[in-house]
Amino acid sequence: MNLNLFLSPKFRLLILCLAATIGSAVLINGQQKAQQKPPLKALLIAGGCCHDYTGQHKALFKGIQARANVQVDVWWTDDKSVNPPLTIFEKDDWAEGYDVVIHDECAAGEKNLEVMKRILDVHKTVPAVHLHCAMHSFRNGTDQWFKHLGLQSTRHGPQEPIEVKYVDKKHPIVEPLEDWTTGKEELYNNAQVFDAHPLAMGTQKYSRNGEEKTDVAVVAWVNEKQGARSFSTSLGHNTFTVEDERYLDLVVRGMLWTMDKLNDDYVGVAYEGENEITFVKGKPKPQKKPAPAAAVNLGKAPKDATLVSVTASSVQGGRDPWMAVDGRQDTRWCASGGSKPQWIQFEFEMPQMLTGASIKWEREGDAYQYKIETSADGKSWAVVADETGNEKKGETGIAFAGKAEVARFVKITTTNVVGGGWVSAWEIQLKGPEIKKLWPKLDEKQAAALKKEAEKANDPLAKEGNIPPKIVKLTPEEEAEILKDVKVPEGFDVSVFSSWQAANYPVYVAAAPNGDLYVSSDGNGSLGREPHRGR
Query: What's the pLDDT tens digit per position in 248-268?
Result: 999 999 999 999 999 999 999
Amino acid (1-letter code) at residue 273: G
Cα angle 42, 48, 50; round to 5: 120
- The predicted model scores a pTM of 0.56
> What sign does the dihedral 44-48-51-53 (CA atoms) show?
positive
d(CA 330, CA 295): 9
Query: Residue 339 in contact with residue 324, Cβ under 8 Å?
Result: no
Please give the C-alpha separations between residue 370 and each of 176, 313, 348, 414, in angstroms, as whole numbers.
51, 14, 21, 4
Helix (H, G, I), strand (E, B) or coil at 6: helix
User: Residue 71: which H helix or E strand, with range?
Assistant: strand 70-77
Task: Name which of 83, 85, 120 is nearest 101 in CA terms.
Answer: 120
User: Residue 369: which H helix or E strand, with range?
Assistant: strand 367-375
- Please name the fold of domain 305-458: Jelly Rolls (2.60.120)
Q: How many CB atoms lie within 10 A of CB 381?
A: 18
Q: What is the CATH number of domain 38-280?
A: 3.40.50.880
Q: What is the per-residue pLDDT for 464?
A: 64
Where helices occur in 102-180 by DSSP H, the ranges are 113-122, 144-149
d(CA 408, CA 86): 58
The full set of domain ranges for the chain reads 38-280, 305-458, 465-534
Where helices occur in 123-236 by DSSP H, the ranges are 144-149
Task: Name which of 224, 220, 231, 296 is nearest 451 in CA terms.
Answer: 296
d(CA 176, CA 483): 56
Burial group, residue 130, by CB count within 10 angstroms (0-12, 13-18, 19+) = buried
Where helices occur in 386-515 by DSSP H, the ranges are 444-457, 476-483
Query: Residue 237 in contact with residue 204, Cβ under 8 Å?
Result: no
Q: What is the per-residue pLDDT for 28?
A: 43
Q: What is the per-residue pLDDT for 508?
A: 62
d(CA 127, CA 231): 8
Q: How many CB atoms lie within 10 A of CB 485?
A: 6
- pLDDT per residue, tens digit, the chain (535 aa), is 554 544 455 555 555 555 555 555 544 444 444 467 999 999 999 999 999 999 999 999 999 999 999 999 999 999 999 999 999 999 999 999 999 999 999 999 999 999 999 999 999 999 999 999 999 999 999 999 999 999 999 999 999 999 999 999 999 999 999 999 999 999 999 999 999 999 999 999 998 878 899 999 999 999 999 999 999 999 999 999 999 999 999 999 999 999 999 999 999 999 999 999 999 998 876 655 555 555 566 778 888 899 999 999 999 988 999 999 998 888 999 999 989 999 999 999 999 999 999 999 999 888 999 999 999 999 999 999 999 999 888 888 888 866 678 999 999 999 999 877 899 999 999 999 999 999 999 988 888 888 887 777 776 666 666 567 788 888 888 888 888 888 888 888 888 887 777 766 655 678 888 888 876 655 544 444 555 554 4
d(CA 465, CA 219): 61
Where helices occur in 190-349 by DSSP H, the ranges are 239-242, 245-258
- Bridge-based pairing of strands 396-399 and 356-361 is antiparallel
Interval 430-481: pLDDT, tens: 999 999 999 999 988 888 888 887 777 776 666 666 567 788 888 888 888 8
Q: What is the per-residue pLDDT for 253?
A: 98
d(CA 16, CA 55): 57
